[in-house]
Amino acid sequence: MTAFTAVIARDLRLAWRAPADSATVIAFFVLAVVLFPFGVGPEPQILARIAVGIIWVTALLACLLSLERLFQLEAEDGSLELIVLSPAPLELLVFGKCVAHWLTTGLPLIAVSPLLALLLNLHVDGYAALLLALALGTPTLSLIGAIGAGLTLGTRRGGALLPLLVLPLYIPVLIFGVAAVEAAVAGLPTRPHLLLLGGLLALGLPLAPIATASALRQATA
C-alpha cells in the first residue's frame, strides 16, 4: 500500500508542477461543449434534448487526450522498467496510476459538467443523475484507457491507434450514462442504469490493472 500511495502522490505532484496537461483536457471539454450551440442553433428545446449526449461524448474525447501520456513519461526516462521490476505488485502500481489519472482528469470533468449542463439547458431533474453517472463512469474510462495506453506503448503511431482500441470499449459506459440522465429527466427510475455503470466499474477494477500490467510487461520485455 505504501507503493500504491507513492505512485498516486508522484503523479499528483507531476500534475501540479505541469498543470498544462490537465488544463488542456478541461479546456477541450469546455470549448467542445460550447461550440455545439453555435452548430445546432440556440433553441433551448433542441439543446435540452441533446445536452446529455453532448456532455458524455465530449467527456469521452477529453479523456482520450491524456491517455497517451499515462505511461509515456516513465517509458521515456527509463523508470517504467524499474516499476515493472519493483517488488510491489505491478497491478497495484497500475491501479495507482489509474486513480491519479482519474483525480487529475475525471474529477475536474465532473466538477465542470453542471455549468455546461446549465449552458445546454439540461432539465434540472437530470443534474443529480448526471453527476452520479459521471462519478461511476469516468473511473471506468480511466481503467479502460489504461489498457489501451499499455497496449500502444512504444508502438509507431500509437496516438492514432489508441482511440481505435479504446472508443469501442467506451460505448457501454456512454449508453448507460446517457440513459441514466434521460431516465431522470423523464421521471423514470435511474437505479437500473446506475447499477449497470457500477457493474462495469466493479468489473474494471480487478481486470483492467491485470490486463494493463500484462501489456506493460510485454512492452518492456
Cα-to-chain-centroid distance, residue 69: 13
pLDDT band at residue 159 under the 50/70/90 scheme:
low
Residue 106 carries which DSSP code?
I
pLDDT of 54 over the 90 cut:
yes
What b-and-e string marks burial along 71-83, b requiring 16 or more CB atoms within 10 Å of the CB?
bbebbeeeebeeb
Number of Cβ atoms within 10 Å of the Cβ of 155: 12
Task: Report residue 142 as a C-alpha cell.
Answer: 480511466
Cβ–Cβ < 8 Å for 220, 87: no
State if pTM tops 0.85: yes
pLDDT tens digit string along 3-45?
A: 888 888 988 888 888 777 788 899 999 999 999 888 888 788 8
Residue type, 137: G
The total number of residues shown for the chain amounts to: 221
Where along the chain do its domains lie? 2-220
pLDDT tens digit string along 76-128?
A: 777 788 888 888 888 999 999 999 999 999 999 999 999 999 999 999 999 99
Among residues 150, 147, 143, 144, which one has the least CA distance to residue 74?
Answer: 150
